[in-house]
């Protein structure tokens, strides 16, 4: 009799391991404006813009601005807040939100925090990714810094990180900001906690060693 065919044992696929939580290196640089060094930059030719204060922004509109502008720079703090907390924050008259429109479309925003009285923080600043490049960032930054500086604050300051666009530090320095403090620490990757899209690219400078 011919030998019985050998029985093939089914092998189980190796169990998938949960993704290991990676650490990212966050370097935060605090900068202060000592003396205004230039006036707002000129707009690129042929660009139709409007700069308006969002006096009563809705939570959904603010989230759109914050999430769209901030995702490439890994902004997470406001993503952790619920709608009630966001609503209370943006309803505060000491929080001023200025939106840059290009051709009628929101292209970026800047947020001034005046809650400390004679100190003003440039809390948020940036462009929607599709509008990065043609000189709009210099225009928006120059305008909002000029707007804050005319109030005569004792201190105008901001925080920038190694997640920000690589040209932003030079832009701040061009206006007159100077670094006064720097702090480095490791953080959990917010893409793995669901705060940010998993396919979001991490700047090389933020990869923990």
Per-residue pLDDT of the chain (209 residues; tens, 9 = 90+): 555 555 545 555 554 444 445 789 999 999 999 877 766 567 777 889 999 999 999 999 999 999 999 999 999 999 999 999 999 999 999 999 999 999 999 999 999 999 998 999 999 999 999 999 878 999 999 999 999 999 999 999 999 999 998 889 999 999 999 999 999 999 999 999 899 999 999 876 667 55
pLDDT of residue 135: 86
Q: Which two tokens stand for residue 132?
A: 């990065």
The answer to whether the CB of 136 falls within 8 A of the CB of 44 is yes
Is 66 within a domain? yes
pLDDT of residue 13: 52
The answer to whether the CB of 145 falls within 8 A of the CB of 33 is yes
Report residue 5 CA to chain centroid gap.
64
Is 30 within a domain? no
Is 25 within a domain? no
Burial grade of 36 (CB within 10 A; 0-12, 13-18, 19 or more): middle
Is 60 within a domain? yes
CATH number at residue 168: 3.40.630.30
Whole domain around residue 137: which residue ranges?
A: 42-206
CB within 8 Å of 96: residues ≥ 6 apart: 53, 111, 112, 114
Is 173 within a domain? yes
Q: Which two tokens stand for residue 11?
A: 């092998």
pLDDT of residue 37: 73
Is 12 within a domain? no
Is 14 within a domain? no
Q: What is the count of structural domains for the chain?
A: 1
Q: CA dihedral in degrees (106, 166, 173, 183; nearest 10)? A: 110
Rounded to two decimals, the pTM is 0.85
């Amino acid at each position: 009799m011919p030998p019985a065919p050998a029985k093939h044992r089914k092998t189980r696929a190796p169990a998938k391991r949960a993704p290991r939580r990676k650490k990212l290196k966050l370097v935060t640089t605090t900068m202060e404006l000592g003396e205004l060094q230039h006036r707002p930059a000129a707009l690129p030719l042929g660009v139709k813009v409007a700069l308006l204060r969002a006096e009563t922004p809705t939570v959904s509109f603010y989230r759109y601005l914050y999430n769209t502008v901030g995702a490439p720079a890994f902004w997470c703090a406001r993503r952790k807040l619920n709608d009630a907390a966001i609503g209370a924050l943006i309803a505060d008259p000491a929080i001023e939100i200025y939106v840059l429109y290009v051709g009628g479309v929101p292209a970026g925003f800047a947020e001034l925090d005046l809650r400390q009285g004679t100190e003003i923080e440039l809390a948020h600043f940036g462009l929607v990714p599709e509008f990065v490049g043609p000189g709009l960032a210099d225009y928006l930054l120059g305008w909002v810094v000029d707007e804050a500086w005319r109030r005569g604050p004792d201190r105008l300051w901001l925080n920038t990180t190694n997640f920000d666009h690589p040209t932003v530090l030079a832009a701040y320095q061009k206006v007159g900001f100077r670094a006064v403090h720097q702090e480095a620490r490791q953080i959990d990757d917010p893409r793995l906690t669901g705060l940010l899209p998993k396919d979001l690219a991490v700047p090389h400078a933020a990869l923990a060693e």
